[in-house]
A and B are shown apart, each in its own frame.
Chain A
Amino acid sequence: MEKTLECFKRILGKSKKENIDILIRGIFGISALISASVIIIIIIFITIKGVTPFISYNQGLGQVNIFRFLTGRVWLDGAAFSSSLYGVGFIIINTVYIALLSLMISMPIGVLTALFIAKVAPQRLSIFLRTVVELLSAIPSIVYGLFGSGVILVLVYNFAELVGIQSKGGNSVIATVLVLSLMSLPTITAISEVAIRSVGKDIELGSLALGATKTQTNFKVVLASAKSGIFASAILGVGRALGEATAVSLVAGNSKSGPSLGLFDITSTLTSTMLEGLKETTGLDYDIRFSVGIVLMIVILLTNIILNYVKRKVGSVSVK
Chain B
Amino acid sequence: MSNKRKLNDIFYQFITYISALISVLALSSIFMFVFIKGSSLLDFGLLFNDYHEKYYNGGFNGDIDFSLTPEPDNLEANEFYSSMWGIALKDAKDREGNAIIIVSYISKDSPFSNMYDKNSVDIESSIVIKEGNIVSKISYYDKPTSLTRYGAELMIKDLDTVTDIREVVYTSLGGGIRGSLLTTLFIIGLTLVLALPMGIFTAIYLNEFAKKNKITNLIRSLIETLTGVPSIIYGLMGLAVFVPFTIAITKADSANLISGSMTLAVILLPIIIRSTEESLKVIPDDLRTASLALGANKTQTTFRAVLPSAYPGIVTATLLAVGRIIGESAALIFAIGTAIKDDVSIFGRSTTLSVHIWSLMKDEPANIELASTIALIILIIVLALNILVKLVSKKFITKIV
A interface, CB within 8 angstroms of B: 17-18, 20-21, 24-25, 27-29, 31-42, 45-46, 49, 108-110, 112-113, 115-117, 120-121, 129, 132-136, 138-147, 149-151, 182, 185-186, 189, 213-216, 218-219, 239, 242-246, 249-250, 271, 274-275, 278, 281, 289-290, 293, 296-297, 300, 304
Give Cα A41–Cα B240 distance, bound, in whole angstroms. Answer: 10
Collect the chain B residues with CB atoms within 8 Å of residue A25's CB.
205, 209, 298
Residues of B contacting A39 in the complex (Cβ-Cβ under 8 angstroms)? 222-223, 225-226, 229
Name A32's contact: one of B37, B210, B254 (CB within 8 Å): B210
CB nearest neighbor in B for A27: B201
Which residues in chain B, 352-401, are within 8 Å of chain A measured between CB atoms?
354-355, 357-358, 361-362, 366, 368, 371-372, 375, 378-379, 382-383, 385-386
**B249 contacts chain A at the CB level, 8 A cutoff:** no
Determine the distance from Cα of A146 to Cα of B205 in the docked complex, in whole angstroms.
Answer: 41
Identify which of A121, A213, A245 contacts B20 (C-beta below 8 A).
Answer: A121
- Complex Cα distance, B379 from A245, in Å, reads 19
Known: A108-B19, A109-B19, A213-B9. A271 touches B327 (CB 8 A): no
Assess whether B115 is interfacial by the CB under 8 Å rule: no
B287 at the binding interface (Cβ < 8 Å): no
> Binary interface profile of B, 1-44, with partner A (CB < 8 Å = 1, else 0)?
10001001100110111111011101101100110010000000
Say yes or no for B231: interface residue by CB 8 A criterion: yes
Q: Are A45 and B230 in contact (CB under 8 A)?
A: no
**B103 CB within 8 Å of chain A:** no
Sorted nearest first, the 4 A-B pairs with minimum C-beta distance are A243-B230, A140-B327, A112-B19, A31-B201
Q: Which residue of chain B has its CB nearest to the CB of A143? A: B375
Cβ A24 vs Cβ B13 within 8 A: no
11 contacts between A and B (CB under 8 A): A29-B210, A35-B219, A112-B15, A132-B23, A138-B386, A142-B357, A146-B371, A185-B26, A245-B230, A275-B232, A293-B233
- Chain B positions 316 through 330: 1 when the CB is less than 8 Å from some CB of chain A, otherwise 0: 000000010011111
Q: Are B205 and A138 in contact (CB under 8 A)?
A: no
Beyond A215-B9, A250-B358, 12 additional pairs, beta carbon < 8 A: A24-B299, A35-B199, A116-B17, A143-B357, A185-B23, A218-B16, A243-B229, A245-B231, A246-B358, A275-B330, A278-B333, A296-B233
Contacting pair A149 B366 (CB below 8 A): yes
Q: Which residue of B lies closest to A149 (CB)?
A: B361
Given A35-B199, A141-B327, A146-B372, decide whether A120 and B16 contact each other with a Cβ distance below 8 A.
Answer: yes
A186 to B23, CA, bound (A): 8
Interface size class of B (residues with CB under 8 A): 35 or more
**Max chain B Cβ within 10 angstroms of own Cβ: one of A143, A215, A239:** A143
A28:B237 contact, CB within 8 angstroms:
no
Minimum Cβ distance to chain B for residue A297 (Å): 6
B135 at interface by CB-CB < 8 Å: no
Chain B residues with CB under 8 Å of chain A are 1, 5, 8-9, 12-13, 15-20, 22-24, 26-27, 29-30, 33-34, 37, 197-199, 201-202, 204-206, 209-210, 218-219, 222-223, 225-226, 228-234, 236-237, 239-241, 254-255, 266, 269, 273, 297-299, 302, 323, 326-330, 333-334, 354-355, 357-358, 361-362, 366, 368, 371-372, 375, 378-379, 382-383, 385-386
User: How far, in whole Å, are A281 and B236 apart by their CA atoms in the complex?
Assistant: 12
Are the CB atoms of B298 and A21 closer together than 8 Å?
A: yes
Q: Judging by beta carbons under 8 Å apart, are B205 and A32 in contact? A: yes
A17 to B22, CA, bound (A): 61
Residue of B233, B355, B385 ringed by the most chain A CB atoms within 10 A: B233
Closest Cβ of chain A to B209, distance in Å, is 5
Contact of A35 among B13, B228, B273, B334 (CB under 8 A): B273
Contact across chains for A182 and B329 when beta carbons are under 8 A apart: no
Q: Which of B210, B355, B371 has the most CB of A within 10 A?
A: B371
A115–B9 Cα gap in the complex (Å)?
14
> How far, in Å, is A216 (CB) from chain B's closest CB?
7
A116 cross-chain contacts in B, Cβ below 8 A: 16-17, 19-20
A25 to B255, CA, bound (A): 35
Known contacts: A213-B1, A293-B232. The answer to whether A143 contacts B34 by CB under 8 A is yes
> In the complex, what's the smallest C-beta–C-beta distance from B53 to chain A, in angstroms?
24
| Cross-chain contact A245 with B330 (CB below 8 angstroms) | yes
Q: Distance in Å from the Cβ of A191 to the closest Cβ of chain B?
A: 14
